[in-house]
Amino acid sequence: MSYDVDRLRADFPALDQEVNGKPLAYLDNAASTQKPRAVLDALDQIYARDYSNIHRGVHQLSVRATNSYESARSSVKRFLSASDEREIVFVRGATEAINLVAQTWGRTHIGAGDEVLITAMEHHSNIVPWQLLCEAVGARLEVVDVDDRGQLDMDDLASKLRSTTKLLSMVHVSNALGTINPAKEIVAMARERGITTLLDGAQATPHGPVDVQDLGCDFYVFSGHKVYGPTGIGVLYGRLPVLEAMPPWQGGGDMIETVSFEKSTYAQPPARFEAGTPHIAGAVGLGAACDYLTEVGLEAIAAHEAELLVYGTGALEEIDGLTLIGTAAHKAGVLSFVMEGIHPHDVGTILDFAGVAVRTGHHCTQPLMQRFGVNATTRASLGLYNTRDEIDRLVGGLRKVVEMFR
């Protein structure tokens, strides 16, 4: 069955509007995605008909809410091809998931003289938590270089997988460059050396199938709002034996087995890491988003976005004074660029007047911007509902930018 982008666009009410008198062309999907009716309907149902606090309640609304919440966990488990629902921990997002690992697994396994290895293309959320941990325990943070195309230097990576390296934490797909890292190969290199691995999948999960068992990683994290789900919800996947050996991060209700004034004992995963009343509706909405993407077909989405990326790359390369930042051989749908003599914020503002939504700035990757010698870029990022016509509108807007500044 062919990919019917017009039919899919009809699932997203937000796309059917005008901005500054022009039809909206939403090309800011790496920052956050729009929501399909399936997600909006799931949120409406849980809040309007099925809402109550979950677990332990015996009345029907609590039972229905609990069933919906745990059904969402099953949906995420299938979405990631995990082996067990207990490997799926609901958190606020990828940022919280990384911090959870740093403050539980990290404080247990990383000490003075040890190393945490990341890459030069990491989002701040996969830099700062490890800096905080290293400062607290006396460990070192090491960084793998990238080349001029935005690809990892595999020789540098291999040389930094040392006996002192306890953890490799890296982005699966770069939010600023679109680079798709050879995650399975890198995880295998690390595991051969006994190094624990975490993959930041915030930008990978919206664009194609992810199989955590095939990848072989110990941890995998992503955010709901990147995969057409709600904000304030995300997932930490952890291999069950690893999660079972980790201490809790936060204390409170639902994460305990027993409590006394003398001592408390803790629940098994995932409850151990879900203290307090969770974002019930967020989890339900995320489950609906995962089911929606599965129904559309993640391989079909990947193929559609790959075709748009080729089309958009060729079109942008024809614009005078425009330089693409990030030209890796294997990329997701991210088009980051600078324009000679024109600040990205000016580019973004002019495009907004044309109804074209893009992102400008450092994209929470300041070290990466420094690596490429720029302060900021303009980033157009693709989603399952984008079209060639929207890329044409982006190109037309950029040509107007050139005319205005030259």
Strands (E), 94-157: 115-119, 140-144
261, 295, 329: which is the final residue of a domain? Answer: 295
Asked whether residue 284 falls in the same domain as residue 305, the answer is no
- 109 domain-assigned: yes
- 34 domain-assigned: no
The per-residue pLDDT for range 50-72, each reduced to its tens digit, is 999 999 899 999 999 999 999 99
In which order are the strands placed within the sheet that holds 359-361? 322-324, 334-339, 377-381, 359-361
In angstroms, what CA-CA distances link 274 with 78, 175, 251, 381?
20, 27, 9, 32
- 52 domain-assigned: yes
Tokens of 215: 């990848």
The residue whose two tokens read 């299938």 is 78
364 is catalytic: yes
Count of domains for the chain: 2
Residue 246's pLDDT is what? 98
The per-residue pLDDT for range 290-339, each reduced to its tens digit, is 999 999 999 999 999 999 999 999 999 999 999 999 999 999 999 999 99
267, 295, 323: which is the final residue of a domain? Answer: 295
* Adjacent-strand bridge partners of 220: 199, 237
- The active-site residue out of 134, 217, 290, 364 is 364
Asked whether residue 50 falls in the same domain as residue 9, the answer is no
The per-residue pLDDT for range 12-53, each reduced to its tens digit, is 999 999 999 999 999 999 999 999 999 999 999 999 999 999
The residue whose two tokens read 């982006």 is 394
β-strand pairing of 219-223 with 234-238: antiparallel
Q: Please give the average pLDDT of every successive group of 10 residues along the chain, which has 406 residues.
A: 92 97 98 98 98 95 98 98 98 98 98 98 98 98 98 98 98 98 98 98 98 98 98 98 97 94 96 97 98 98 98 97 98 98 97 98 98 98 98 98 92
How many Å apart are CA 380 and CA 77, to the nearest integer? 30
- 191 domain-assigned: yes
Would you call 229 helix, strand, or coil by DSSP?
coil
How many Å apart are CA 217 and CA 129, to the nearest integer? 19
264, 295, 326: which is the final residue of a domain? Answer: 295
User: Which CATH number do you get for residue 318?
Assistant: 3.90.1150.10
Asked whether residue 302 falls in the same domain as residue 291, the answer is no
Asked whether residue 107 falls in the same domain as residue 131, the answer is yes
What is the helix, strand, coil percentage profile of the chain, to 5?
A: 45, 20, 40
Asked whether residue 157 falls in the same domain as residue 303, the answer is no
Asked whether residue 157 falls in the same domain as residue 93, the answer is yes
CB 198 within 8 A of CB 293: no
Asked whether residue 149 falls in the same domain as residue 256, the answer is yes
Residue 1's pLDDT is what? 57
Residue 406's pLDDT is what? 79
- 35 domain-assigned: no
Task: Give 15's DSSP letter.
Answer: G
Asked whether residue 246 falls in the same domain as residue 359, the answer is no
**Tell me, what amino acid is at 391?**
I
- 59 domain-assigned: yes
In angstroms, what CA-CA distances link 239 with 26, 160, 186?
36, 24, 18
- 225 domain-assigned: yes
Residue 360's pLDDT is what? 98
Asked whether residue 280 falls in the same domain as residue 349, the answer is no
Tokens of 259: 């409590």
Give the structural domain span for 226.
41-295
Asked whether residue 287 falls in the same domain as residue 328, the answer is no
Would you call 33 helix, strand, or coil by DSSP?
coil
User: Which CATH number do you get for residue 222?
Assistant: 3.40.640.10
**Tell me, what amino acid is at 297?**
G
- 368 domain-assigned: yes
Asked whether residue 238 falls in the same domain as residue 99, the answer is yes
Asked whether residue 142 falls in the same domain as residue 278, the answer is yes
